Amino acid sequence: MDTPNLSHATYYTPLPEQPSLDGSPATRRRPLKGFVVIFGSIIFLVSLVGLILNQSQEPSSTSPMPNNDDKPSSQKKSFSKRMPRGVAEGVSAKSNPSLFDDDEVSYNWTNAMLSWQRTSYHFQPEKNWMNGPLFHMGWYHLFYQYNPDSAVWGNITWGHAVSRDLIHWLYLPLALVPDHWYDINGVWTGSATRLPDGQIVMLYTGDTDESVQVQNLAYPANLSDPLLLDWVKYENNPVLVPPPGIETSEYRDPTTAWTGPDGTWRLTIGSRVNTTIGIALVYQTTNFTTYELLDGLLHAVPGTGMWECVDFYPVAINGSIGLDTSAGGPGIKHVLKASLDDTKLDHYAIGTYDPVKDKWTPDNPEEDVGIGLRVDYGRYYASKSFFDQYKKRRILWGWINETDTEIDNLSKGWASVQSIPRTVLFDNKTGTNILQWPVEEIESLRYNSKEFEKIVIEPGSIVPLDIGTATQLDIFAEFETELLASATEEEGYNCSVGAVDRSTLGPFGLLVLADDSLSELTPIFFRPTNTTNGTLTTYFCADETRSSLAPEVLKQVYGSSVPVLEDEKLSMRVLVDHSIVESFGQGGRRVITSRIYPTEAIYGAARLYLFNNATGINVMATLKIWQLNSAFIHPFPLVDKI
């Protein structure tokens, strides 16, 4: 290690299961005290009113951290028998059943706490519950599933928003609504395809009046309109119905089409056979109104269940730009991704596409779709990519749903968020994975940067970082380690044991959205392990188990091993946006999205720390941290149209 810089290491304290701080940073702000209802003699009568009156904008930081054996934890609760929303309608779960019995009271959220949870630079609708993105005449278009009536899943329509830069968004009128027999029970996921002559076609899944999943065609009424305000549904919809042998409730989410060597268009639709084999059907068409189901399958993986929201696109083996969906030839691999209905996880694999046989083969069968790599190891689902022809890049979006309860969602009036758009490239250093990275436009929100050079974090220590407000951040961090004791061998480690599980080599990293007393904190960390065969495996993890004092919130530990090459430092980039934390390990080889619902670590009481919970290494950290402004996300001023 280089010579350390101790100027920022204001004090060290151990990180046991109940962290405590014995000292104070030189520039620590004291949170303001909120208004509290103190009429003890009538507290029972006014308890309901207290939810409204007790609106502390900066909560107290004096609550002790509960012992892990006593704290509320979703891992020690079983889901109630109540069926999640969406399952009965034949789609993936769109809600979290309460972790408690119906008569058990959830956390007493204040309006200030709920207001803090709304993100500031992630896209989400103005209210309520929240598919085929594209770029047209200078505008990025985002179409998303939306319930205009409530903050829970149901009455699914297509919301529509536009942006010049993928960050600042303008809401437009609804694009598609369920108003025909073939989509009356919901306008579900679909994809846009741009034709060589500039035409745009949109294929989407509709749920019919008999709850049959069919594929429908829509197109813009006026291509010269940059905002694509009006859409027309094809008069002879549906254009595709479930073929023989496919369940009528397991046939959905058409992909963007690509051209084959014969000049005809191909697209794939997810389904399953024999209840457990996930499959991708392949169709060809010349006009998007009539289709032929090709023999065989694009791909199938036993044991993975229903595939929904399938995505299929090329990546250049040696290149720094994205590729059009129809690109093929030497030097190109294809990514096949499926959202697994059974597990609610997005999996992908890299392989080779045979355009003559319309078959895709994974490079590594042991890491096939559904049994290997994930797009994101956290709270992230139903992702969809598109080719940005303007900047020659492939952009990926994902849906981040809530991990609190429907009651909480109804209280705050909204639910679900879109991830920050990410660019996707093939990792030509490892040759085994994609690289995901926030689009460069996010940097336009940066201000007030602060750098920390070579901060040493001793074993069992925490170092506060004096950065001011810590709820909207863009963090770059690099870590180097110095071995102080011989490392023991470990087998079978995974992230599930969390940040309190200590070893010679880890864990170490960041504590985001933590309060002064560390009663709430979320570690984002690395955990190197020595295996019995002499190799070093590094894990990249996010631990939500102490992120909130609210007992009804689902709190998990996420992560996986991450490739680290011999000449690389351990590095992470973390985007913090109130209740969303997106973490990118080793340049985006692994990504973890977390939903965080603090009760104490909000507003000015939120803090950022470095920590080292290893027993036998010093860790040296170098960071650059920016505050991030809020994005402009408002209705488009269409006075005559709305």
410 phi and psi, to 5 degrees? -65, -35
pTM of the model: 0.86
131, pLDDT greater than 70 = no
232-278 tens-digit pLDDT: 999 999 999 999 999 999 999 999 999 999 999 999 999 999 999 99
At residue 150, the pLDDT reads 63
187-235 tens-digit pLDDT: 999 999 999 999 999 999 999 999 999 999 999 999 999 999 999 999 9
The mean-pLDDT minimum among 80-89, 148-157, 623-632 falls in 80-89
496, pLDDT greater than 70 = yes
At residue 538, the pLDDT reads 97
- State the DSSP string of 284-309: EESSSSS-EEPSS-SEEETT---EEE
Inter-residue contact 83 to 63 (CB < 8 Å): no
CA 455 to CA 463: how far, in whole Å? 9
Q: What share of the chain is helix, strand, coil (3-state, %, to 5)?
A: 5, 40, 55
132 phi and psi, to 5 degrees? -100, 95
Q: Which residues contact 532 (CB under 8 A, 6 or more apart)?
A: 489, 491
User: Which residue in 77, 79, 204 sits closest to 132, CA to CA?
Assistant: 204
95, pLDDT greater than 80 = no
CA 580 to CA 400: how far, in whole Å? 9
426-441 tens-digit pLDDT: 999 999 999 999 999 9
> What is the SS3 string spanning 121-164?
CCCCCCCEECCCCEEECCEEEEEEEEECCCCCCCCCEEEEEEEC
- What's the whole-number mean pLDDT along residues 435-459? 98
CA 115 to CA 112: how far, in whole Å? 5
At residue 104, the pLDDT reads 47
- What's the whole-number mean pLDDT along residues 13-21? 44
556-582 tens-digit pLDDT: 999 999 999 999 999 999 999 999 999
CA distances from 404 to 341, 548, 573 (A): 20, 11, 26
Widest pairwise Cα distance in the chain = 82
pLDDT band at 625 (very low <50, low <70, confident <90, very high): very high
CA 125 to CA 633: how far, in whole Å? 9
**442 CB-contact burial (10 Å; exposed 0-12 / middle 13-18 / buried 19+):** buried
pLDDT band at 412 (very low <50, low <70, confident <90, very high): confident
Tokens at 97, concatenated: 């059943």
Fill in the amino acid letter for 281: L
105, pLDDT greater than 90 = no
284-300 tens-digit pLDDT: 999 999 999 999 999 99
- What's the whole-number mean pLDDT along residues 136-157? 84
At residue 92, the pLDDT reads 52
Average pLDDT, the chain: 86
List the end-to-end C-alpha distance of the chain, in Å, as a whole number: 62
